[in-house]
Structure 1
Amino acid sequence: MSYGRGFAPWIAAGFVSAVDWRWGAVAGVVVGVLLLLQDRSGGVAMDAMVLEISTIVYFVIIGAIAFSSPDSSVQDHSDVLSFVWLAGTAWGSMLLRSPFTLGIARRQTPEEYWDTPGFLAVNNAITAAWGAGFTFIAVVLAISSATGAPVWVGITAHVIGLLAPAIFTSVYPKRVQARLEAMQAASA
């Protein structure tokens, strides 16, 4: 599983919401549940699906609001709310000492590293990068909405807020591994 796969429900909801936000929420739930079921049938542990579970809960809540009150002002703020939710997922998982990236990383890392302090530290850093990216997007979108900023400001925030943590996720573990190998070679 890649980190990007966890965003599939958000992408599906975004496309369908362009037609109707109620059905966008349904699309988010359906895609989220399908991914969750696919992963569970493949033997993926629940701790590797924190993002998927959080996503499903978000879309169930938004769907309930959308269907019970289709003209709710929540619709006007759903982009900001979605990134507040994702930021809350990232920061909350760190507060619970179980960064949401931990389960995903375990699927890509040999088991002998799972209980090492370094593995947890790397995942804390990666989760913090995602939390910062989500928070950045939420803040910029909220300010943009309040000030009537041009659309390109929000688009730029999305690109920066998602691309920066994705690059960090790709580069940082490799740098840590290289430093560790250099330290081991120097002490040998």
Structure 2
Amino acid sequence: MSYVRGFLPWIAFAAVSGVAWQWAALLSLAIGAFFLVKERRAGASADGQILDLGTVVYFTVLTVIAFADPHSPFQDYVSGASSAWLALVAGGSLLVGRPFTLGIAKRSAPPALWQNPVFIRTSTVLAGVWTAAFTLSAIATLLCEATGAVDALRILVQILGFAVPMAFTRHYVKKVRARAVAAAATPAGPVVDPRAFPAAGR
């Protein structure tokens, strides 16, 4: 459940922001900071906490804005801004050659497999899919907010922004693992340990 855990602050904000966005921002900041510290104490590396760091930065800024001016016009676009920030974090990790999905996968994959080309390519593909999903979600959500679309439509867009890439992740990782198992069973095939792909689909 590595991906679900990483997005818990964002899920919490989406659930509470309709009532009081400043307290929702503070709650999400607390959740994000808790997991950031917990994972760091457990020995997590910096590349494994790209999403956690991005989450804490975003909700720190949002908490300051929300409490400084609870009636800020930014409140009307906060959902779209959240998706846009996630797209920036995910896309930025790709641009610097450290896809955030790779760090998540390393949490449970043996260190000996971290340089496996298939392992790295799988993480890169997944990071690209998440980036695309967040980008499309940000555009659609901002359009909903700008046009005053019903909340149900905006919420649906945000749910799809997480659900679609998560479903793709599970499907793609299973497909890659199946290929690895088949290759390992073929004498002439390349040796690819299927243990290289346990975390990405969880």
What TM-score do the two structures reach when normalised by structure 2?
0.85
Structure-1 separation of matches of 2:65 and 2:53? 19
Q: What is the CA–CA distance in structure 2 between the aligned matches of 1:92 and 1:63, rounded to whole Å? A: 23
The letter of the residue matching 1:187 is A
**Deviation of 1:133 (Å):** 1.4
Is 1:36 aligned with 2:36? yes
Deviations 1:112-156 (A, max 9, x none): 220122211111111111111111211111222233333332233
The question of 1:187 aligning with 2:185 is answered no
AA aligned to 2:188 is S
- Name 2:48's counterpart in structure 1: 48
**In structure 1, what is the Cα distance between the partners aligned to 2:143 and 2:67?**
28
Alpha-carbon deviation of 1:48? 1.1
Other-structure match for 1:164: 164
Aligned residues: 188
CA RMSD of aligned residues (A): 1.8
- Larger RCO: 1 or 2 (CA < 8 Å, sep 6+): 2
1:57 is aligned to 2:53: no
- More displaced, 117-126 or 152-161? 152-161
Cα distance in 2 for partners of 1:186, 1:175 equals 20
- The one-letter code of the counterpart of 1:43 is G
Say which structure is richer in helix. 1
Sequence identity percentage: 39
Q: Which residue of 1 aligns with 2:107?
A: 107
Answer yes or no: is the 8 Å Cα contact 1:134–1:161 preserved in 2. yes
TM-fit CA distance, 1:186: 5.9
TM-score (norm: length of structure 1): 0.91
Per-residue displacement from partner, 1:39-78 (whole Å, max 9, x unpaired)? 1222222221111110000011111211222221111100
Q: What SS does the corresponding residue of 2:11 show, helix, strand or coil?
A: helix
Task: Could you tell me which runs of 5 or more consecutive residues in structure 2 were left unpaired when the two chains were aligned.
Answer: 190-202
Deviates more, 1:13-22 or 1:71-80: 13-22
Bigger mean CA offset, 42-51 vs 12-21 = 12-21
Find the counterpart in structure 1 of residue 200 from structure 2: none
Conservation of the 8 A alpha-carbon contact between 2:12 and 2:24: yes
Q: How many angstroms apart in 1 are the aligned matches of 2:94 and 2:150? A: 34
Report the AA paired with residue 158 of structure 2.
H
For the residue of structure 1 that corresponds to 2:43, the secondary structure is: coil
